[in-house]
Structures are given as structure tokens and as C-alpha cells.
Amino acid sequence: MRIAIIGGGPAGLMAAEVLSARGIGVDIYDRKPSPARKFLMAGRGGLNLTHSEDLETFITRYGARSEILAPVIRAFPPKVLRDWCESLGEETFIGSSGRVFPESFKASPLLRAWIDRLEKQGAVFHVSHDWQGWDGDALLFQTPAGSVRVTPAATLLALGGASWPRLGSDGSWVEILQKRGVQIAPLEPANCGFAVAWSDIFRNKFAGHPLKSIAVIVGEMRVAGEMVITAQGIEGGAIYALSHSLRETKAPLIIDLKPDLDTKETAARLNKNRGRESLSNHLRKALNLPPAAIGLVMEHPDRAGLSRYTPDRLAHLIKNYPLNVKGPLGMDRAISTAGGIAFDALDGNAMLLKIPGVFAAGEMLDWEAPTGGYLLQASFATGVYAANGIKAWLKL
């Protein structure tokens, strides 16, 4: 008896570990010449594995899917993930923001140790195998050597979403499953940048510049941090944290360019006589605003009238700068995706109701989360959950 796992990312590899540790034969298929390429990409930023906040708060980070994912996360919580990481020889530490990282601050040592363990447990990797769907009851793969057909005892789909498609997860599975009647919410970019129609002058001068120590507001949500100006718009941690609200509510984006001062103190500093100096110089001297922030103020539609604003009105603008965001940028640079296989399309074992014997895990499922360790944690946890579902279904 062998189990096919399609997708060599965190969800698929974690499911493979759970199954192979029980002596169950596992074949891992990946369309790329090597597995876990997006996992390795995540490691370039330090590999934020999970978060150290209390578990109940942690679970709320999954928003509308918190209730559904709660038992999945509780069954494989951050503490267990850290223990697992350390069992592979990678000690972890908690950063100043509460995020958890391996001490090596890289993904590659962890992945090498993980693959070595899987192979010692009998898991077999099949790379450059591009899944095409089914040929009757058999899984159909296209490989450099031609077509390959496989008929496993059960199949786990862990093909990822559609972000960073050059790394392997391009969402091509959506059409395959929809033809089999599986309910799927449209894939959309998450933890992504947003388009802004900058003037040529502003774009040419400030693209690539960060705006640090600001706060961004969408509706009732306020996030302190930084954003980065790009040629196409904006991105960065504070923007990623609000990407769901920006995408779903269409509410305006408000920027507080001086969150360490209240409006009254901001106005008081601006009330100093500026004499004949330019507004830009006045903003720099009175508020210590960096050039990119001053440029953003001057990008305001009423830029010609700004010099006539009273200190109170100018302070209000700096504390409540409205930015006209056009919509999310494409999925090719999004960190993750929203949408995917509806939870209503799965039974209690993570098996597709329309295709018995086929299970799903990871970013293929219809959930999203902010950065901070929540994405990887849920990918690992759903992989464990689906593996246990396979064992239950096969009565192993």
C-alpha cells in the first residue's frame, strides 16, 4: 500500500512525515526539479516558522476561518512545531516581535535534515512530475521521460495556492478539480502590494524607498510599521497586514505619517513661523519627516494649495493622509493567496466529498492569514491533519 502526495511544500512534506513514521509507503511528487522551493524562498527573510503569542490569540489571526482551523492548530500548535524543528537539529528562538525563527535563520539546513529523515523513513521523491489530473482512476503526471500513471491507495493534494508561480504553485489545479465538481473559491492575492497611480515625478524619485515608523488604517484596523513605495504602488509589512481588509472592504487607506505625535502637538510644531522657507523644508525641520514622507504629502491632489493650509489643517492631513489605492497587484509577487478548496467540500478527515480517497491540505484550502508565522503554521498543521485523516479513512 502506497500513498501519493502531490506537492513537496510544507503541508505535503509534513503529511509524508506523519505517514512514513508509521511505516506507510509514501511517494512525494513535485513538478519542479527539487521540492519546497517556496519554503526556501521564505527562508531568505529568516524563515518565520510560527509565533509565540498565546494560542487563543494565535487562532484569531485566521479571521473568518478561525473556528474551522482552531482544532487543526490545537492538534499541532506552535510549541509542537518548535519541538519538531529542534528534533531536526535546528534550535529556535523568539524574536523581538514574538515571531519564531530557527537559529540558523535559514530554511536550507532544516529542509536538508527533513528530506534526509523522510528518505530514511522510506518516503520516495519523484521530482519533475507535473500533475495533469486523472486518467480513469490513475493519477496522470507529465515528466521529461513522458507520461506516468499511478494508482495509489489514497492521494493527498498539497499543491499550494497561486503566489510566486515560478516556484511551482500556479493554481493550475483549480480547473482540474472544478471539472470534478469540487467547490473552489476564486484564488486572489493575499499579503500583497497594492496599485497606486503615482505621478511620474514621485515614482521616479521615490520608488524603492521605505516609509518607516508610520501607521496605516483601513476602517477600524490600524497597523503600525512600515511600507515601501514601488513603481506600481505600495507594499511592505504594514500593507500586508491590511491586505485582506483592503481587498474585501474597498475602504480607503489612511496613513498616519507621524504616529508618535497627536494632532494637537503636530499642529503646534507646524505653527512655528516658517518665514520664506519652502513647505518641504518646513515639514522636514518642524516634524523631522523623511524625504519620502514629504514627497507623499506633496503628492496630494491639492498639492498646489498645501502652502496655504493652516497648521491645524496640515496637521490633520499628515495624521490622516488619504491614499487612493486602486487594487491588489498580481499574484506573481504576492506572499500568499486567498481562496481555494471550500471547507464545505471536505469531510471531517480533509477528504474531498466529490472524490473519495483524495485529500487536501495547505494553501490549497480556502483560508488566509497575515505574515508573522501564521502561514507556515497552518500549512504544517493541515498537513498533519490530512495525514491523520488518510490513516483514519484507510483504517491504519
The 130-135 sheet, strands edge to edge? 130-135, 138-143, 146-150
Q: What is d(CA 48, CA 245) in angstroms, rounded to the nearest whole number?
A: 23
Domain limit, last residue, from 271, 300, 328: 328
Domain limit, last residue, from 328, 349, 369: 328
Residues 251 and 149 in one domain: no
Q: Which of 31, 13, 81, 127 is nearest to 386 (CA)?
A: 13
Taking only the tens place, the pLDDT of each residue in 236-294 is 999 999 999 999 887 889 999 999 999 999 999 999 877 788 999 999 999 999 999 99
Q: For residues 336 and 165, is the Cβ–Cβ distance under 8 A?
A: no
Element (H, E) at 322: strand 321-323
Taking only the tens place, the pLDDT of each residue in 65-105 is 999 999 999 999 999 999 999 999 999 999 989 999 999 99
Say what the pLDDT of residue 65 is: 97
Binned at pLDDT 50, 70 and 90, residue 201 comes out as very high
Element (H, E) at 139: strand 138-143
Q: What is d(CA 385, CA 379) in angstroms, rounded to the nearest whole number?
A: 10
Residues 178 and 199 in one domain: no
Binned at pLDDT 50, 70 and 90, residue 299 comes out as very high
Find the angle CA(67)-CA(71)-CA(72) to the nearest 5 degrees: 105
Place of cell 504594514: 238
Residue 395 grid cell: 483504517
Task: List residues bridging with 321 in a β-sheet.
Answer: 255
Place of cell 506537492: 7
Say what the pLDDT of residue 37 is: 94
Taking only the tens place, the pLDDT of each residue in 186-200 is 999 999 999 999 999
| Beta pairing class for 233-235 and 194-196 | antiparallel
Say what the pLDDT of residue 42 is: 86
Residues 19 and 109 in one domain: yes
Q: What is d(CA 375, CA 243) in angstroms, rounded to the nearest whole number?
A: 14
Question: Which range among 49-63, 222-236, 263-277 shows the weakest confidence by mean pLDDT?
Answer: 263-277
Query: Would you say residue 40 has pLDDT above 90?
Result: yes
Taking only the tens place, the pLDDT of each residue in 10-30 is 999 999 999 999 999 999 999
Greater model confidence, 275 or 109: 109
What is the pTM assigned to this prediction?
0.91
Q: What is d(CA 228, CA 236) in angstroms, rounded to the nearest whole number?
A: 5
Residues 172 and 262 in one domain: no
Say what the pLDDT of residue 44 is: 82
Binned at pLDDT 50, 70 and 90, residue 330 comes out as confident
Q: What is d(CA 182, CA 159) in angstroms, rounded to the nearest whole number?
A: 15
Query: Would you say residue 349 has pLDDT above 80?
Result: yes
Residues 281 and 349 in one domain: no
Domain residue limits at 284: 194-328
Give DSSP secondary structure letters for 91-103: -EEE-TTSEEEET
Say what the pLDDT of residue 103 is: 94
Residues 113 and 181 in one domain: yes
Greater model confidence, 169 or 276: 169
Say what the pLDDT of residue 264 is: 96
Provide, rounded to the nearest whole percent, the portion of the chain with pLDDT above 90. 91
Query: Would you say residue 354 has pLDDT above 80?
Result: yes
Residues 135 and 267 in one domain: no
Residues 321 and 268 in one domain: yes
Residues 107 and 170 in one domain: yes
Say what the pLDDT of residue 43 is: 83
Residue 148 grid cell: 506516468
Q: How many domains is the chain built from?
A: 2
Residues 274 and 144 in one domain: no
Query: Would you say residue 45 has pLDDT above 80?
Result: no
Taking only the tens place, the pLDDT of each residue in 372-388 is 999 999 999 999 999 99
DSSP H helices, the chain, are: 10-20, 37-43, 55-60, 66-75, 78-87, 108-120, 173-178, 200-206, 237-241, 243-249, 263-270, 279-287, 291-298, 311-319, 374-393
Q: For residues 41 and 167, is the Cβ–Cβ distance under 8 A?
A: yes
Say what the pLDDT of residue 251 is: 81
Say what the pLDDT of residue 351 is: 98
Domain limit, last residue, from 328, 350, 375: 328
Provide, rounded to the nearest whole percent, the portion of the chain with pLDDT above 70. 100
Residues 137 and 283 in one domain: no
Greater model confidence, 168 or 173: 173
Residues 200 and 170 in one domain: no
**Mean pLDDT, all residues of the chain:** 95
70 by Cβ neighbours in 10 Å (0-12 / 13-18 / 19+) ranks as: middle
Q: What is d(CA 350, CA 344) in angstroms, rounded to the nearest whole number?
A: 10
Q: What is d(CA 41, CA 111) in angstroms, rounded to the nearest whole number?
A: 12
Query: Would you say residue 108 has pLDDT above 90?
Result: yes
Binned at pLDDT 50, 70 and 90, residue 139 comes out as very high
105 by Cβ neighbours in 10 Å (0-12 / 13-18 / 19+) ranks as: middle
Give DSSP secondary structure letters for 81-133: HHHHHHHTT--EEE-TTSEEEETT--SHHHHHHHHHHHHHTT-EEE-S-EEEE
At residue 313, the 3 state secondary structure works out as helix
Say what the pLDDT of residue 96 is: 85
CATH number, domain with residue 96? 3.50.50.60
